[in-house]
Amino acid sequence: MTKVLTGNWGKKDSHLLATYEAGGGYSALKKVMGGLSPAQVIDEVKASGVRGRGGAGFPAGMKWSFVPQNTGKPIYLCINADESEPGTCKDRQILEFDPHMLIEGAIICAYAIRAKIAFFYIRGEFDLPYRRMVKAVEEAFAAGYLGKNILGSGFDLDFLIHKGAGAYICGEETGLISSVEGGRGEPKVKPPFPAVKGAFGCPTIINNVETLATVPWIINNGGAAYKQFGTEKSPGTKLISVSGRVKRPGNYEVPLGYPLQKLLLEDCGGMQDGYELKAIIPGGSSVPVMPAEKALTVNLDYESVAAAGSLLGSGGMIIIDHTQKMPELLEILAHFYSHESCGQCTPCREGTGWAHRVLKKICHGEGTKADLDLLLSIAGQMSGATICFLADSLVMPIRSFLTHFRAEFEALIKAEVPA
């Protein structure tokens, strides 16, 4: 099938400008600069139906159309390469293997929303992806794809690489903005939404790396052609990161709606010998876990996974085998979200830490029956009560682990001593 995102991945020196151009790279930008208006670009992206690949699945073209063009303020684009959601490791390979595809998509987006600066926000730990991007950006400036008067169109765009320094929360769009502004990565209350009032108080669009990397293909081939992949409501292809004890873990580009079972058994070669499938977290660590039988019935599109009780999220598919202890995995997630809570909201700051302490107690065999209800009660008090979605990112695992695997937790509860 056609590869929208991964077509160049096997090529030698796929990250270099010369390779990208030899394969037709920057032809979409030339097409845009040669005579498409910003509105025409937005219409094409809207027609493609491509939805944000960072987790929330919001239609990209629609988001771009929310940017007010009459405020007199500069407009900014932020490219989200923070990729920190456990299970997700796709954006980094776009940066490693095809950085120019992302840059081209970002320039086209910036043109469509009339942005002045594109901030490329990359997590601080990334090394090879960072070096490849630094090099690719230099090449793009030198070739006249970035900078002043791009391809003689009169459009100017600066491109700044903003290196994070270790904080999951900077992947949340308003946390990212705080970090771009030079501060602690603390999320901000919405509304106002960033498209209206974002970085430096100016209209700002934030898009995930994978979302922007699809744009050159859409411009070259048309929104209608993109829609031929995927389902009616989830058009296009998606990168799925598969981790865990399968024979061939890695990133797979599949049309949305692809059967999970086919990905697991055919593409990934099934489970490693001696391991049985127990459960799957289909969309990054914050979405609900699904027991094996249920997971094997879903198709990988936003609607199908949601109907089965979980979310496609970022496409970080975590395969859990029969040797894993579910309370231990939940304890790890609680530790993670508690560690990454920025601390602004009491329910999140206190709730994630409290849930972690309770889970630790349970894992050490010191929990009581009441602790399971306590966990659910903590989750209930965290849900929907905070500035950003980090708190709910632990609520979903707590509820789903306890719904589907309660017996494993109960088995760890020490026998109640009769009074």
Partner 1 sequence: MTTKVDQSSGLAAAAEARIDDLQRRYPTKAATLLHVLWEIQWQDGWISEDRMRYAAKRCGVPISKVLGVVSFYTMYRTKPVGRHHVQVCRNICCHIMGAAPLIEHIKAKIGVGEHEVSADGKWSFEEVECMAGCAWAPMMAINEAYHENLTPEKADRILGELV
Q: Which of 103, 212, 218, 390 binds ligand SF4 (CB under 6 A)?
A: 390
For residue 383, the minimal CB distance to ligand SF4 (Å) is 11
- Pairing relation of β-strands 277-281 and 316-321? antiparallel
Q: What is the DSSP letter of 71?
A: S
Answer for the pair 227, 235: CB distance below 8 angstroms, yes or no.
yes
For residue 48, the minimal CB distance to partner 1 (Å) is 27
User: How many residues belong to the site for ligand FMN (CB under 6 A)?
Assistant: 24
Is the four-CA dihedral 110, 132, 21, 88 of positive or negative sign?
Answer: negative
Residue whose pair of structure tokens reads 């990161």 in the numeric block: 241
DSSP H helices, 191-345, are 209-213, 215-221, 223-227, 260-262, 292-295, 302-307, 326-340
Contact call for residue 333 and ligand SF4 (CB under 6 A): no
Contact call for residue 341 and ligand SF4 (CB under 6 A): yes
Is the four-CA dihedral 122, 123, 124, 126 of positive or negative sign?
Answer: negative
Residue whose pair of structure tokens reads 């974002």 in the numeric block: 198
CA 133 to chain CA mean position, Å: 19
List residues binding partner 1 (CB under 8 A): 74, 83-89, 91-92, 117, 123-128, 158, 160, 162-168, 179-185, 199-200, 202, 241-245, 249-251, 281, 285, 316, 318-321, 324, 328-329, 332-333, 336, 339-340, 342
Which of ligand FMN, partner 1, ligand SF4, none is residue 200 near (CB under 5 to 8 Å by kind)?
A: partner 1
d(CA 387, CA 181) in angstroms, rounded, equals: 19
Contact call for residue 172 and ligand FMN (CB under 6 A): yes
CA angle 128, 130, 132 (to 5 degrees): 70
Q: What is the DSSP letter of 416?
A: P
Which of partner 1, ligand SF4, ligand FMN, none is residue 344 near (CB under 5 to 8 Å by kind)?
A: ligand SF4
For residue 28, the minimal CB distance to partner 1 (Å) is 26
23 versus 249: smaller Cβ distance to partner 1 = 249
Nearest to 229 by CA among 242, 214, 241, 243: 214
Residue 189, judged by CB atoms within 10 A of its CB (0-12, 13-18, 19+), counts as: exposed
Which of ligand SF4, partner 1, ligand FMN, none is residue 206 near (CB under 5 to 8 Å by kind)?
A: ligand FMN
Q: Which of 11, 31, 349, 360 binds ligand SF4 (CB under 6 A)?
A: 349
The tokens describing 206, both together, are 């934030």
Q: Which of 34, 183, 192, 343 binds ligand SF4 (CB under 6 A)?
A: 343
Contacts of 252 (CB under 8 A, 6+ apart): 239, 240, 242, 263, 267, 268
**Could you say which residues in the range 320-359 bind ligand FMN, by CB under 6 A?**
none
**Could you say which residues in the range 188-217 bind ligand FMN, by CB under 6 A?**
206-208, 211
Half-sphere exposure of 303 (CA within 13 A, CB side): 8
Helix axes of 390-412 and 326-340: crossing angle, nearest 10 degrees? 150
Residue 270, judged by CB atoms within 10 A of its CB (0-12, 13-18, 19+), counts as: middle
208 versus 338: smaller Cβ distance to ligand SF4 = 338
Position 281, amino acid:
I
CA distances from 182 to 78, 160, 178 (A): 14, 13, 7
Q: What is the DSSP letter of 268?
A: S
41 versus 390: smaller Cβ distance to ligand SF4 = 390
For residue 15, the minimal CB distance to partner 1 (Å) is 16
Which of ligand FMN, ligand SF4, partner 1, none is residue 182 near (CB under 5 to 8 Å by kind)?
A: partner 1
For residue 344, the minimal CB distance to ligand SF4 (Å) is 4
**Could you say which residues in the range 51-90 bind ligand FMN, by CB under 6 A?**
52-56, 58, 60, 80, 82-85
236 versus 353: smaller Cβ distance to ligand SF4 = 353
Which range binds ligand SF4 by CB under 6 A, 110-118, 229-237, 323-331, 344-352? 344-352
Which of ligand FMN, ligand SF4, partner 1, none is residue 258 near (CB under 5 to 8 Å by kind)?
A: none
Interface residue list for ligand FMN (CB under 6 A): 52-56, 58, 60, 80, 82-85, 169, 171-173, 206-208, 211, 388-390, 393
Residues in touch with ligand SF4 (CB under 6 A): 169, 187, 341-345, 348-349, 386-388, 390-391
